[in-house]
Amino acid sequence: MYKKLQRIQLIISDLADKNQCYGKLDDGMSVFVQGTIAVGDHVEAEIIKIKKQYLVARLTEVLSPAPTRIEPVCSYFGTCGGCKWQHMNYPEQLRLKQKQVSDALHHIGGFNTVNCKPCIPANEIYHYRNKVDFSFTDLRYLTLEEMQQPPETLEKPVDFALGFHAPGRFAKAIDIDTCHLATAEMNKVLNLTREFCLQHREKLPIYSTHTHTGELRNLVVRHAGHTRELMVNLVTTTHQPALMQSLANHLNHALGTALTTFVNSTTSAKNTVAFGEKEFVMHGAGYISDRLGAYTYRISPNSFFQTNTAQAEILYQQILTSAQLQPEDVVYDLFCGTGSITLFASGHCQKVLGIELVESSVHDARANAERNQIENCSFLQLDMKNIRSISDQLDAFGKPRVVITDPPRAGMHPNAIQLLRELAPPVIIYVSCNPASLARDGATLAENNLYQLTECIPIDLFPQTNHVESIARFERS
């Protein structure tokens, strides 16, 4: 008979949902363990929940580490929720990412014979991000050791933080000095901005999610992967021209030619999303440019752009390889965003139609096509859920031989899947950042044997995290 707070020992055999790991006791009882654990760890854990078929426990000690366990490079690991897998070596990360996709296809989608390839690795596993969002909070997340000290003895103030939210703590942030996924220049911007804001706290109080007063909200830094252009975007409640110009000068003096543009975005929203309603350009042009493959993209403060430039190029090239496009093909690119995949496909087919719901993204996509002098791309602002109202526009463009779909993490709306089944193109390439929604949507596509899943290729765009991208090829039966 098990009791709450009872200590148990077991060997971790697999990952589980909700950032838990899984193992079995000697009597066969299943246990889900919370904590920073690697597959193969021999652990001690404390039972916190007892169910008929399983137990939930909290890690208390790693008794014997797995061979794949390594020392994390980041001093914030375990507190900051960004890099959950820094304690595992990179080959193990790749193995687990492939297993995530394979398991979802088997257990959720029912694809028991699919060929799920090994995960394509990243060349750079640190300092690969071209965009980082830092949050300001007026409550700093304190370690247990800091909580036991008088506030006046601490190195940092308790009412100022610029960094990342601890998991589940939206009112508090960990004050970060260095992020190992960001570039050195981005970390320099982080610390220069903190220095300036601490010096001007009276005029730049931090926005409070409780009182909805204050100024400082977010610091968004973009560092282009190829052009190395650098954008700093400070998101505040109101625009204070003199103060923002002073910050722009402060950054420009310290960074020199490395700083391409500084923007002050303002928002009146009560939520904490790093998205401005108005933009005030204090230095440079207010945007940067970067390349993916042969194509150049203009990146504004609110633009979507893949956050790992080098891996995005590998992802897009693999999409083309999986699609096997022919010069006479008509192609649809669903959820096309700013047209990145659309542009890549344009040089390999007769014509391609990008479909996107967000108006600003469609505008950017058209501008990107024009900038790159591509004439066989068209873009439509359409809602894929409204099947009947968009069918005439699709018919006017022509029936596709290949459809590429890259939906958001939640996957495709049932109506959008139904539209795909009615279009019934010979090939569908499903690009996914969520193995569960890929498996679920794939099963719906394949109902009544309409499509066969012939191949799935995981790609690692986010080393040190549990996120994985994948490309699935469906062929009409």
Look up the CATH number of domain 7-64: 2.40.50.140
Check: CB of residue 107 under 8 Å from CB of residue 17: no
| Largest interatomic CA distance in the chain | 72
Q: Say how many C-beta atoms besides its own lie within 10 A of residue 359's C-beta.
A: 9
Check: CB of residue 186 under 8 Å from CB of residue 139: no
Query: What pLDDT sits at residue 1?
Result: 83
Which stretches in the chain have pLDDT values below 70?
Answer: none
Q: Are 7-64 and 131-299 equal in CATH topology?
A: yes
Gap between the Cα atoms of 307 and 319, Å rounded: 18
Gap between the Cα atoms of 191 and 185, Å rounded: 10
Gap between the Cα atoms of 289 and 305, Å rounded: 11
Gap between the Cα atoms of 135 and 386, Å rounded: 37
Query: What pLDDT sits at residue 144?
Result: 82
Query: What pLDDT sits at residue 153?
Result: 86
List Cα–Cα distances, 415 to 345, 390, 411, in angstroms: 25, 12, 12
Q: Where are the domains of the chain?
A: 7-64, 93-124+308-476, 131-299
Gap between the Cα atoms of 473 and 431, Å rounded: 9
Look up the CATH number of domain 131-299: 2.40.50.1070
**CA-based torsion, 303, 304, 310, 316: positive or negative:** negative
Check: CB of residue 379 under 8 Å from CB of residue 334: no
Query: What pLDDT sits at residue 304?
Result: 83
Collect contacts of 362-369 with beta carbons under 8 A, ≥24 apart: 364/298, 364/300, 364/303, 364/338, 364/339, 365/336, 365/337, 365/338, 365/339, 366/339, 367/298, 368/295, 368/297, 368/298, 368/338, 368/339, 368/340, 368/343, 369/339, 369/342, 369/343
| Assigned superfamily of 93-124+308-476 | Vaccinia Virus protein VP39 (3.40.50.150)
- Sorted by sequence, the CB contacts under 8 Å of residue 359 that are 6+ apart come out as 381
Give, as one character, the DSSP assignment of residue 376: S
CA geometry: angle 71, 85, 157, nearest 5 deg: 75
Gap between the Cα atoms of 247 and 220, Å rounded: 14
Catalytic positions, please?
433
